[in-house]
Amino acid sequence: MKENDTFSFQRLDLIDKVKVLDTGEIIEVPINREEDFRSHIWGVNGSNKETTSHIEMTVFVEPEEEYIVQRLMREKRCGTVERVDGTHWKYSADVYGVSEMLPWLRTFIGRVTDLICSDEKVTERFWGDIDDLLETYGGEGNAVS
């Protein structure tokens, strides 16, 4: 594998045929590159040609809602979870393909008190989606922070 080649993912159900390579054609991936890439992916998209994006989401959790904290710990994948204060927890990660996290982030709507991402499109999309919900279903204020 050349240093500038990218990792890619293929759906097995879309592969029509395979070709057996001679041993001289086998491409070896340096293990440290593959492990590093794998430790920063959220889903199946992302390219090791791009840089990782840093994301932090702070959520409000009542003391009797420990199941929310347990869910964060269980679903954090390549990120970390830390207690900020008595009612706030922060999820942080550096990931490739950060926009793939949006569906998961949306599951915390109503609890998110802060969302910061080095890819501004992600935060704009998240808060824009909340504004769209407010417009559609009624509500006051502007969700964009």
Each residue's pLDDT tens digit, 53-102: 999 999 999 999 999 999 999 999 889 999 999 999 999 999 988 999 99
Q: Is the pLDDT of residue 140 over 60?
A: yes
Provide CB contacts within 8 A for 103, sequence distance 6+.
Answer: none
Class of residue 95 by CB neighbours under 10 A (exposed 0-12, middle 13-18, buried 19+): buried
pLDDT of 145 strictly over 50: no
- pTM value is 0.74
State residue 23's pLDDT score. 67
